[in-house]
Amino acid sequence: MQNGPKYAISKEGVIKLVVIALACTTFALLADANYYLYGRKGRMEWVFAAFIISFAISLLLYIFRITGAADSMSTCGPCTFDGFDFLWSWFSTMWCLAAAVVFALEFNVSSRSPIFAKVLSSIILAFVTAIMYGVEAHQLRSRAPAHLGYISTRKGWLKTALVALGAAAFGLLVDSGFLTCRASCGQAIMYVLVAYVVGWVGTVIIWFLHIIGVIKADNRRTFATVEFSWSVICILLFLSGSIVSGVFLHKQCDGNYNNRTYRGLLCQQRLSSVIVAAINAALYIVDAVLNKPAT
């Protein structure tokens, strides 16, 4: 990749500049509306910090490249400056996407509020920023360090999405206060939680083995049988979990149980968990198809 003033007009340079502008606008709108002070347990502060950190590091990388300083900089081990640039883009994709999801879940502003438009625009920009970081990581995928190029492939992105959504599914379930269920409800929700966690842990292990290079190109076809089998198991785990959780969600949040409705925060979190788990089950079907052993 060419550094110096010409980097500014290169495809990589334009993409990074767009990412910087989007991240800056996202947290600027949050700051202007003071919405980063809202939310529970400092979550909006974390969202605010996520976009500031991503913006700051990306801006530094851009400055290093456009001034030519990147040519004289070295990094630790086999990771080059280009490799670090890829890793930061990939990490920021996950980081900003997680922050955008949390932001959307924490959104609770009346349409009559004077900050409604700013906060809603910030949420939209948050997702767009995460997508653009993904575009940048895909653009830099050929410069990834050894083995880490897997995470920018089609299967790698899919596996990463499964890991992220799996964590979101059981995280939202835990956050929704599942321990408040009693008797059969408590047993059912505990099954759902275990199903999500087991599916997530197994997927993380497979994902990690790909990243560290244990699963290499020469044995990937053999391991595809294991991945295919695990994807089928996870389809059953997440699909059954979302169905069971959805049934008890309706019983608890239909307005006839402790005066709870779907407008309540806990019910919204439980509903979000059901939706995320169902999406994850659908993605596991795609993963199973991609890893189907050759006959």
pLDDT at 8: 87
Q: Are residues 81 and 12 in the same domain?
A: yes
Establish if 245 belongs to a structural domain: yes
Whether 170 and 222 share a structural domain? yes
Amino acid identity for residue 113 in this structure: S
**Helix 154-175 crosses helix 265-290 at what angle (to 10 degrees)?**
160
CATH of the domain at 125: 1.20.120
- Do 136 and 33 sit in the same domain of this protein? yes
Both 114 and 161 in a single domain? no
Q: Give 12-69 pLDDT, tens digit per residue.
A: 999 999 999 999 999 888 888 777 666 555 677 888 888 999 999 999 999 999 988 8
Asked if 137 and 160 sit in the same domain, the reply is no
pLDDT 10s digits, 190-206? 888 899 999 999 999 99
Does one domain contain both 138 and 165? no
State residue 78's pLDDT score: 57
By the 8 A CB rule, do 66 and 7 touch?
yes
* 262 inside domain: yes
Higher pLDDT, 180 or 282: 282
Domain region containing 191: 154-290
Residues 11, 138: one domain?
A: yes
Instruction: Say if 149 falls within a structural domain.
Output: no
Does residue 201 lie within any of the structural domains?
Answer: yes
Q: Give CA–CA dist 80/126, Å, rounded.
A: 29
Better-predicted residue by pLDDT, 32 or 278:
278
**Domain-located, residue 247:** yes
Q: Model confidence over 111-145: pLDDT tens digits?
A: 788 888 888 899 999 999 999 998 998 888 888 77
Q: Is residue 275 in a domain? A: yes
Q: Is the pLDDT of residue 292 over 80?
A: yes
Give me 31's structure tokens. Answer: 């700051």
State residue 240's pLDDT score: 93
Amino acid 87: pLDDT: 87
Structural domain includes residue 282: yes
Q: Please give the tally of structural domains in the chain.
A: 2
Q: Using the 3D structure, point to which of 143, 165, 183 is the last residue of a domain.
A: 143
- The sign one gets for the Cα dihedral 169, 136, 143, 96 is negative
Domain contains 295: no
Instruction: Assign 295 a pLDDT band (cuts: 50, 70, 90).
Output: low
**pTM reported for the whole predicted model:** 0.75
**What pLDDT is stored for residue 267 in this prediction?**
76
Residues 232, 285: Cα–Cα separation, whole Å: 7
| Shared-domain flag, residues 130 and 49 | yes
Q: What percent of the chain has pLDDT over 70?
A: 84
